[in-house]
Amino acid sequence: ARMGRTLVELHYDVISPYSWLAFEVLCRYRHIWSIDLRFRPAFLGGIMQQTGNKPPAMLPKRGEYMLKDMKRMAKYYQVPVHMSADDFQRIMGTSSLTAMRFITAVDMTNPQYLEPLSREFWMRFWSQHEDISQPENILAVARQAGLSAELSQKALEMISDPTVKDRLKETTAEAVKHGAFGMPAVVAHYDGKPHLFFGSDRLELLGSVIGEKWLGPVPS
Q: Which of 16, 19, 118, 200 is catalytic?
A: 16
What residues have CB less than 8 Å from 149, skipping those under 6 apart? 139, 143
16 is catalytic: yes
Q: Angle formed by the axes of helices 135-144 and 149-158, to 10°?
A: 140
DSSP conformation class of 7: E
Q: Half-sphere exposure of 165 toward its Cβ, with a 13 Å CA cutoff?
A: 5
CA–CA distance, 25 with 63 (Å, rounded to integer): 24
Neighbours of 208 (CB within 10 A): 12
Strand-pair category, 6-12 with 185-190: antiparallel
| Positions marked active-site | 16
